[in-house]
């Protein structure tokens, strides 16, 4: 939820419900079940998230998206003691260039 509305803007109107916990953990709630994840990664993932290859999105679009996500987190959590950023399922990883320039945190991804 963002501003008490399901978060859809910026990700192609694909409805997901991310939650930003006060500890900084961002996760989907409700979580998808195994079959939903399997279907998503088989049917939708490449179209929605293989963005670096898209002429109308590309690395610049990925950077702008990471900037938006990082901004949301910084607005909701205390980042003054933040030392690490972990992204499970970080796609192409291009968003980390933005984070490396923006923070001195250690950044982990897979
Ligand atoms: Zn938490």
Residues constituting the chain? 110
Residue 23 token pair: 């500890």
Query: 26 CA to middle of ligand 1, Å?
Result: 8
Could you give the residue ranges of the DSSP H alpha helices within 50-94?
58-76
**How many CB atoms neighbour CB 69 within 10 A?**
19
Query: 55 CA to middle of ligand 1, Å?
Result: 37
Question: What is the model's pLDDT at position 53?
Answer: 81
Query: 27 CA to middle of ligand 1, Å?
Result: 10
Q: Is the pTM of this model over 0.95?
A: no
Confidence of residue 2 (pLDDT cuts 50, 70, 90): low
Contact 76, 97 (CB under 8 A): no
Tell me how far the alpha carbon of residue 88 is from its chain's centroid: 9
Given a cut of 70, whether residue 90 has pLDDT beyond it is yes
């Amino acid at each position: 939820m963002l501003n008490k509305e399901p978060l859809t803007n910026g990700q192609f109107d694909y409805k997901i419900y991310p939650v930003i916990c006060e500890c900084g953990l961002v996760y989907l709630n409700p979580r998808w079940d195994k079959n939903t994840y399997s279907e998503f990664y088989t049917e939708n993932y490449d179209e929605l998230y293989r963005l670096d290859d898209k002429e109308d999105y590309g690395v610049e679009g990925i950077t702008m998206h990471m900037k938006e996500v990082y901004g949301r987190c910084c607005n909701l959590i205390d980042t003054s003691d933040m030392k690490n950023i972990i992204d499970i399922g970080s796609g192409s990883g291009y968003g980390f260039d933005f984070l490396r320039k923006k923070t001195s945190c250690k950044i982990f991804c897979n």
